[in-house]
Amino acid sequence: FKSLFFSMWVTQRGLLVAVPAGLLCLMSWRWRWLVGQESRALPWVVEALLVGLMPLFHMHTALVLVSTWLLWVLLAAFRDEVPTAPGRVFYSVWRGWVLACAVGLGPAAMLLSANPAAAVGAGAYATGLLRWHVGWQAATFGQPLLLYLVQNMAPVGCWVGLAWGLLLQRPTLAHRFAGRSLLLTACTWGALVLLFQISPWDWDNSKLWLWAVLLVLPLMPMGVSVLLPYHKWGVAILVLATLVLPGGLAVTQFGGQRLLTGHGYTVAVRSDIDHACGQLAMLSVNSRVAVAPVFNHPVILCGQPVWLGYEQHLWSHGYGARARVQAQALDAFMAKRHSVQVADAAQAAQAPGSVRAMWWGPMERQRWADGSLNRHDPNPDEGGSGGLCLLAP
């Protein structure tokens, strides 16, 4: 949370298209469904093109857009005020429910994926996108849920509470219905982020939290304009907390780690990389190595092809099913390792043809640290850096 948008744009290249296209759709739908000014909305064909192509760039944004469109159409159809021209189309109850069922098939298909049983499960290789996971990343960081929420989401929560209070207590505010609809949508996605895991990895919920924050942002100027004449210091403190608090805490923790220990967070150790590159020199550049699929593995950082790369990268690039199969094969292969220097022919036969060696080091011990795996090290005198184990021809 040091910088939500920066971290998302760097790691999720699809958001470079998804964020501006999604904001255009939300802006157009706000005018069309929530405000009732059809003339200010985008042409239908443009909206359909943007939403239809969105899964090619970012699946989570496509899910947000389709679900938000459905919610806003239903809100416009059943609003208390006299319905506007676009709302009259869906004014009858039965039309609204038929529309909900029809449009809901798309998100339902994405959530259930190919395996409905695994879609709501918690297996390591579940194929679905939806699973019950309360607290988002609180358990990952070892924090109580309340502390995690206060540290990372307190400013946004303050703005949400302020906006709800203003919209409920001041009926003369312009676009009151539009504001309530924005808040309802943002709170819905925020609740889903905290209650469910909508991908194989909990970090990916940030892709949905991003849109929950974007839906709240348009309401912040309203709160400032209403409260500023009466509570200047209070507004200033709230704005400052919004801008500084999450990032400030993260930067302070990072700096504290640096000052207390004399070094920052370890991504890789230069000596381990040099050691790995030296041992890999005996292999051809096309020979693959069986290693633990970790993003900062020394063998990977040396540029050597491996049996299986970082699983999260493979999943995000559309190789989820293939990666699961290869991960299971790699687990079975590494679990049968029993030779110090050279694996036997039976074990070597289990590896793909391009795999010529295996690496055994701290990362492998951490992943496969059961049974006989801890009893042998190819190079026990290397200080725990690991070593190369050639496969029998």
From first to last of its 393 residues, the chain has per-residue pLDDT tens of 456 666 677 677 788 899 999 999 999 998 888 887 888 888 888 888 888 888 888 888 988 998 898 888 888 877 655 444 444 444 444 444 454 455 555 555 555 444 443 333 333 334 456 778 888 888 777 788 777 777 777 666 666 776 666 666 665 554 577 877 888 898 888 888 888 888 777 788 888 888 988 888 777 766 666 666 666 776 676 666 665 555 555 555 555 555 555 566 678 889 999 999 999 999 988 899 999 999 899 999 999 999 998 887 787 666 777 788 888 888 888 877 644 344 444 455 556 667 888 898 888 888 886 534 333 343 333 345 788 887 766
Instruction: Give the per-residue pLDDT at 279.
Output: 92
Instruction: Give the per-residue pLDDT at 27.
Output: 92
Tell me how far apart the alpha carbons of residues 107 and 13 are, in angstroms, rounded to a whole number: 22
Instruction: Give the per-residue pLDDT at 109.
Output: 53
Domain limits, the chain: 1-112, 121-265, 270-391
Instruction: Give the per-residue pLDDT at 146.
Output: 79
The pair of three-digit structure tokens given for residue 318, joined into one six-digit string: 């559309």
Q: Does this model's pTM top 0.85?
A: no
Instruction: Give the per-residue pLDDT at 15.
Output: 87
355-360 and 387-391 beta bridge pairing: antiparallel
Instruction: Give the per-residue pLDDT at 144.
Output: 83
Instruction: Give the per-residue pLDDT at 155.
Output: 65
The C-alpha angle with vertex 7 and arms to 145 and 303, in degrees rounded to 5, equals: 115
Tell me how far apart the alpha carbons of residues 272 and 112 are, in angstroms, rounded to a whole number: 42
Instruction: Give the per-residue pLDDT at 91.
Output: 44
